[in-house]
Chain A
Amino acid sequence: MERPQRNELQRCLTRLADGDRAAFRPVFDLVWPRVREIAGRLIPHAADAEDAAQGALVKLFERASEFDPERDALAWIVGIVTWECMTLRRKRTRRREAGSVALDALPDGAINPEEHAISVELETVAVATMGQLRPEDRETLRIALFGEGRRDLKPATFRKRVERALGRLRAAWRDHGIG
């Protein structure tokens, strides 16, 4: 961002923090491209980056009244956007860990015969692949993916176990020539 633009941002954000609603549009116009750019750099997946940018922008305006004019506006914005992006990344990673990696590929409610055949075949492979796993891995995945059974471990230990079991499932899945 060029120096004059940066100064303009500082001025407008200060006015907005003071409650001057007329400064809303200029701040929005100055900030949105910047937020998008930062999110794009931090999150490689375009759709995720767009989601993160929108979330960060909303959060930023939510906290605009807390902005301290003594602070640098751009640094403040970068801080909020980075934090939001990292939070979203962590959330997505956790969801991917918890969600089924291989089962995601299964067609949901196949309607035509071809899709049905593929679905049955994938299901067979999935069952066979699960069968290759150690009983404790199968149990861990059953709890993590389908919520069946009791989870007696600490969350961190359980997460580690899920990670390991998913890794083994992925390897077995690859052995079947899928993935």
Chain B
Amino acid sequence: MESADLAARARRAYEAGRLRWALQIGWMVIVLVGLSSVAASPSRVTILLGVALLATVTALRWRGQTFSLAARVGLLAGLIPFTLLLGMKCGSSMCCALGNCMAHCTLFCGLGGLAAGVLLASRARRLEAAGLPFLVAGSLVAALTGLLGCFVGGLTGAVWMLAGELAATLPAYASELKRISR
């Protein structure tokens, strides 16, 4: 076999192996979707968000480098609003006893989103290069993960979570854009 043919075969094997490796994160997404389905009732939204999250995370991990890191950090960041909301949903009897059930829900969504954004921004600041792609990819993963939990708060909860995340990452976006334009 010619060296070029062999190199092409090796390259195909590398890409296939990388895709298999990237898909290994699937178990985590399955666990999150399972938890979300158990805590809230199983719905089409959960499934759609789960599929979108799996596709995004797999693609990012397959692409590698900054994107792979973004997938990891994004998942971790997204777990904050996810855990907060599902925790609140499980202990809803206590929270709702205080009254204003939905207000608590949206507040938790907003705070979770804010914490996720802070985590992403602090991680992006430590990167020497490719901070913007990291922020974009990480925010997307964090949003999808968070929404798996926050959709129980309805559209308002989801919007608050996204707003919180955006508010925390906005300065980081601005500084990255400034760095690029320089």
B-side interface size class: 20 to 34
Q: How far is the CA of A66 from the CA of B63 in the complex (A)?
A: 14
Which residue of B11, B13, B62, B68 contacts A18 across the interface (Cβ within 8 Å)?
A: B68
Contact A25 B17 (CB under 8 A): no
A107 within 8 A of B: no
Q: Mark A52-85, 1 if CB is under 8 A from B, else 0.
A: 0010011111111110000000000000000000
Contact A57 B17 (CB under 8 A): no
Restricting to A105-139, which residues have a CB under 8 Å from any CB of B? none
Contact B6 A18 (CB under 8 A): no
Contact A19 B1 (CB under 8 A): no
A-side interface size class: 10 to 19
Which residue of B3, B18, B67, B68 contacts A32 across the interface (Cβ within 8 Å)?
A: B3
- Chain A positions within 8 Å of B65 at CB level: 18-20
Restricting to B37-80, which residues have a CB under 8 Å from any CB of A? 62-65, 67-68
> How near does chain A come to B58, taking the closest CB pair, in angstroms?
13
> How near does chain B come to A154, taking the closest CB pair, in angstroms?
35
- Chain B positions within 8 Å of A65 at CB level: 14, 17-18, 21-22, 64
Q: If the complex has contacts A19-B64, A61-B11, are A32 and B6 also in contact, measured as CB distance less than 8 A? A: yes
Q: If the complex has contacts A61-B13, A62-B16, are A25 and B21 also in contact, measured as CB distance less than 8 A? A: no
Q: Mark B1-37, 1 if CB is under 8 A from A, else 0.
A: 1010011011101101110011000000000000000
> How near does chain A come to B39, taking the closest CB pair, in angstroms?
33
> How near does chain A come to B61, taking the closest CB pair, in angstroms?
8
> Interface of B with A (CB < 8 Å)?
1, 3, 6-7, 9-11, 13-14, 16-18, 21-22, 62-65, 67-68
